[in-house]
């Protein structure tokens, strides 16, 4: 597994396992993933599966020190309740530190959360701190007040939502871009896209592998989720081929700026998030 080196010198595997919607019936898949090379796990308090992740890690026998665990503070805890939320995550994950702790969405109170996370970072309880779903203006607010620079921004990114402008900003400020939904959350449109299918045939890979490799070649980390061993395996096997520059350029023409309701520019959506659990 290759790593990205974050702006504080912490190494993060380029491919991680997203676990959104994974439940107890998927524990075998989690254990399988850990036993077949996944070392980076992306969970969140909101996924209500941190205890399941701890159980799968225990069953896999993989040592804590060999893992990179990300979790996130949920929107109802942004602001004053961040410290408490962090302690709860530690307890559920059965660990005494988190590798990467993120503010899940840029809801009201995120500057207060950021200050709490800086303290936890300085106390050695978190190895890297960052944000998710932040737009440039929201990141700029943090950059103005911070004593620690965000290490990452985890944002929805795939060939139909390429995030060029925000990506450039992240590169410029040495903030690692992590893609969520790098497979379009399983969107059949992306999986049936003519160009992506043509490139899959050309490189002898699957459409999923083309999407993941495209991200990695742009310097973006990926955290695809699957509960199927054959797909989990495929999603790791993206380091043995290279998409040619010409083909990378062709993929860049697929941009559609395609988002669902979960849009960080939608103020009503952000307001609503604080009330769901
Ligand atoms: N920060 C945020 O706000 C945020 C938001 C959403 C997600 N995330 C994180 O990002 C992770 C990834 O995003 P996501 O889970 O929403 O979507 P995703 O990884 O883009 O797509 C997952 C979907 O693709 C399918 N799939 C996976 N590998 C495949 C393959 N090789 N071939 C065909 N289908 C495949 C999965 O089905 P099967 O499971 O049936 O294989 C699942 O339906 C999440 O799990 C979560 O950790 C973060």
Atom 22, ligand 1: which residue's CA is nearest? 185
Q: Which token pair is 17?
A: 């396992």
Which residues lie with the beta carbon below 6 Å from any ligand 1 atom? 18-20, 42, 104, 132-133, 154, 180-186, 206, 208, 223-228, 231, 234-235
* CA 129 to ligand 1 center in whole angstroms: 22
Q: Would you say 3 and 14 are in contact if contact means Cβ atoms under 8 Å apart?
A: yes
Q: Would you say 259 and 161 are in contact if contact means Cβ atoms under 8 Å apart?
A: yes
* CA 207 to ligand 1 center in whole angstroms: 14
* CA 21 to ligand 1 center in whole angstroms: 9
Which atom of ligand 1 approaches the CA of 154 most closely?
A: 1
* CA 206 to ligand 1 center in whole angstroms: 16
pLDDT of residue 76: 95
Task: Tell whether the model's pLDDT for residue 265 goes beyond 90.
Answer: no
Which atom of ligand 1 approaches the CA of 43 most closely?
A: 47
Q: Enumerate domains of the chain plus CATH numbers.
A: 3-273 (3.20.20.100)
Atom 45, ligand 1: which residue's CA is nearest? 18
* CA 185 to ligand 1 center in whole angstroms: 5
Strand partners, 68: 40
Atom 37, ligand 1: which residue's CA is nearest? 226
- Is residue 7 very low, low, confident or very high in pLDDT (cuts 50, 70, 90)? very high
Name the catalytic one among 4, 38, 47, 110: 47
If we measure between CA atoms, which residue out of 205, 204, 207, 238 comes closest to residue 221? 238
pLDDT of residue 21: 96
Name the residue of 178, 225, 276 to mutate for ligand 1: max ligand atoms within 8 A of Cβ: 225
pLDDT, tens digit, for every residue of 162-171?
999 999 999 9
Give 262-271 contacts, CB < 8 A, sequence gap 24+. Answer: 262/133, 262/156, 264/105, 264/106, 264/133, 264/134, 264/135, 264/138, 265/135, 270/75, 270/105, 270/106, 270/107, 270/108, 271/107
Q: Tokens 């490189």 belong to which residue?
A: 203
Which atom of ligand 1 approaches the CA of 227 most closely?
A: 39
Task: Tell whether the model's pLDDT for residue 20 goes beyond 90.
Answer: yes
- List the strands of the sheet with 68-73, edge to edge: 17-18, 40-42, 68-73, 98-103, 126-132, 152-156, 176-180, 221-222
Active site annotation includes 4: no
pLDDT of residue 91: 98
pLDDT of residue 187: 87
- Is residue 1 very low, low, confident or very high in pLDDT (cuts 50, 70, 90)? confident
pLDDT of residue 260: 73
Task: Average the pLDDT over each of 10-19, 185-194, 239-248 and give the range with the smallest value.
Answer: 185-194
74 phi-psi bin (left φ>0, alpha ψ -120 to 50, beta other): beta
Q: Would you say 225 and 17 are in contact if contact means Cβ atoms under 8 Å apart?
A: yes
């Amino acid at each position: 597994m290759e790593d990205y080196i974050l702006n504080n010198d912490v190494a993060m595997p380029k491919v991680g396992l997203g676990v959104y919607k994974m439940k107890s019936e998927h524990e075998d898949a989690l254990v399988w993933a850990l036993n077949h090379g996944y070392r980076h796990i992306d969970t969140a308090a909101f996924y209500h599966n941190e205890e399941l992740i701890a159980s799968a890690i225990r069953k896999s026998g993989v040592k804590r020190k060999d893992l990179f665990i990300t979790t996130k503070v949920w929107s109802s805890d942004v602001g004053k309740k961040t410290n408490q939320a962090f302690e709860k995550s530690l307890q559920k994950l059965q660990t005494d530190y988190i590798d990467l702790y993120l503010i899940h969405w840029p809801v009201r109170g995120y500057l207060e959360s950021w200050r709490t996370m800086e303290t936890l970072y300085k106390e050695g309880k978190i190895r890297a701190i960052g944000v998710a779903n932040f737009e440039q203006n929201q990141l700029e607010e943090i950059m103005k007040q911070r004593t620690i620079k965000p290490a990452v921004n985890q944002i929805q990114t795939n060939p139909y939502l390429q995030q060029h402008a925000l990506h450039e900003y992240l590169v410029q400020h040495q903030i690692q871009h992590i893609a969520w939904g790098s497979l379009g959350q399983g969107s059949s449109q992306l999986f049936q896209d003519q160009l992506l299918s043509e490139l899959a045939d050309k490189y002898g890979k699957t459409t999923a592998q083309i999407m993941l490799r495209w991200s990695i070649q742009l310097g973006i980390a990926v955290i695809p989720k699957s509960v199927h061993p054959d797909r989990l395996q495929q999603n790791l096997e993206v380091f043995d081929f290279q998409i040619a520059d010409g083909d990378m350029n062709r993929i860049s023409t697929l941009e559609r700026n395609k988002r669902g309701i979960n849009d960080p520019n939608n103020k009503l959506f952000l307001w609503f998030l604080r009330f769901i659990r």
